Amino acid sequence: MAKFDLDLFVIGAGSGGVRASRISAGYGARVAIAEDRDVGGTCVIRGCIPKKLFAYAAHFSEDFEDAAGYGWTVGPRTFDWATLVAAKDKEIARLNGIYKQILAKAGVELIESRAKVVDPHTVSVGGKTLTAKYILVATGGKPFCPPIPGEALGITSDEAFNLPRFPKRVVIEGGGYIAVEFAGIFHGLGAEVVLVYRRAPLLRGFDLDVREHLTDELQRKGMDVRLNSEVAAIDEGADGARITRFKNGDSLACDAVMFATGRKANTAGLGLENSGVQLGRDGEVVVDEFSRSSVESIYAVGDVTGREQLTPIAIKDGAKVAATLFGGRDSAVDHEFVPTAVFSQPPVATVGFTEEAARTLYPEVQVHRSTFRPLKHTLSGRAERTFMKLVVDGASGKVVGAHMVGADAPEIIQGVAIAVKLGATKAQFDATVGIHPTAAEEFVTMA
């Protein structure tokens, strides 16, 4: 008779949890997964996928304008928020169904209820208790809102995709990737956007040149970017308006105030502390390189660990945990040279070290920069400029950082990331023939 009801119980059916469940079941493990919201997690339901779809929608406003420079006559045009939301909902429902099918085909039991850890081998879910040899926490993160007067009158990215009406005037507080992405979305769809950030420039943690270039481009597009500023309070005005008050005493009326002020691990009420699991300052599960918590039988993957908040990392973490527990080998994710993108307008993509970080690691650093007007805009007339940068270890010649702001940056950097991961040198970049005429060729012709 089995000592436990299950070999693995997973809490949270997002990207990391689903991947760990499916692969573990493939190794022959008895697996159940609990989810009290839609299957797919933040990325699929209220993050990466709907955000990218909305970013596509927002970019059409510039595409229509640019078409005139190429001889096209574009007639009257309007945007309908309800149509976009309905189309998004249809696609998200389809993906939710696919994720459920993946679990079912793998033989993973899906329990659509909230689960709580009782002890290192026991969970309470759906009015019953189950025991498992291992428990995996994959509950992701949730938006953090600053505790200010009127906080409840604001929204977060969770609500932004399903607003009943399109807000014509939006205040967004934050300077990270979610803030700049939604600033581009709302602006592109026709809203007046005020982007408020308590520091300067935007995108703390990214390369300084990238930060400054993106800030300039957003302002060039007509966004009101207020740096070194903070929202102090929100009041309810007439006809549902939101009166935003700033710490410097200014105030303005708008239709929505969005907080994009960070995310915290979604661990509240899970019972982890009572089970001896060590949590970090922001509630994240502290794990080792194998995603094992301070309790030997409890693991955690994805955003709930406080590591890189990237879907591909969660997926790889989930796969590695399955291999460690049921594949017969300890397996860890290599977190060096992880590429990432910000789907702002224009988009940002990067891999490797910033110039600032590189100068603390290498005795000699070579920096190569290029700023240019994309070929497309020689006829469209748009003033947008593309920025590219390579950071090189002077001693070895290896490219240790690649950064870009401009059209197709995420698609371009994905390929560059392979070279950086493999340790390619600047000389090898230079020896590579560029594809002409493309923006990407600048990475192999940069002096």
Report the SS3 class of residue 32: strand
CB atoms within 10 A of CB 128: 10
Residues 433-444 have pLDDT tens digits of 999 999 999 999
pLDDT digits (tens, 9 = 90+) for 257-270: 999 999 999 999 99
Give the 3-state secondary structure of residue 195. Answer: strand
Q: Residue 2 pLDDT more than 70?
A: no
pLDDT in tens, 12-31: 999 999 999 999 999 999 99
Q: How far apart are CA 276 and CA 292, in angstroms?
A: 13
Reduce the DSSP state of residue 177 to 3 states and report it. helix
Alpha carbon distance 311, 42 (integer Å) = 9
Q: Are 332 and 290 in contact (CB under 8 A)?
A: yes
Q: To which residue do tokens 């089970």 refer?
A: 275
In the predicted structure, residue 1 carries a pLDDT above the cut 70: no
Segment 195-213, tens digit of pLDDT? 999 999 999 999 999 999 9
Question: Which active-site residues does the annotation give?
Answer: 436
Q: Rounded mean pLDDT of 163-184?
A: 98
Average pLDDT score over residue span 211-232:
97
Q: 228: exposed, middle or buried (C-beta count within 10 Å: 0-12, 13-18, 19+)?
A: exposed
CB atoms closer than 10 angstroms to residue 157? 21
Q: Which residues contact 314 (CB under 8 A, 6 or more apart)?
A: 14, 15, 16, 19, 43, 138, 301, 302, 303
Domains of the chain and CATH, by start: 6-142+264-326 (3.50.50.60), 151-261 (3.50.50.60), 340-444 (3.30.390.30)
Cβ contact 157:320 at 8 Å: no
3 state SS for 107-172? CCEEECCCEEEEECCEEEECCEEEEEEEEEECCCEEECCCCCCCHHHCECHHHHCCCCCCCCEEEE
What are the residues whose beta carbons fall under 8 Å from the beta carbon of 184, sequence distance 6 or more? 55, 58, 218, 343, 344, 345
Query: β-strands 224-227, 192-197: how paired?
Result: parallel
How far does Cα 57 stand from its chain's mean position? 18
Q: Report yes or no on whether pTM surpasses 0.75.
A: yes
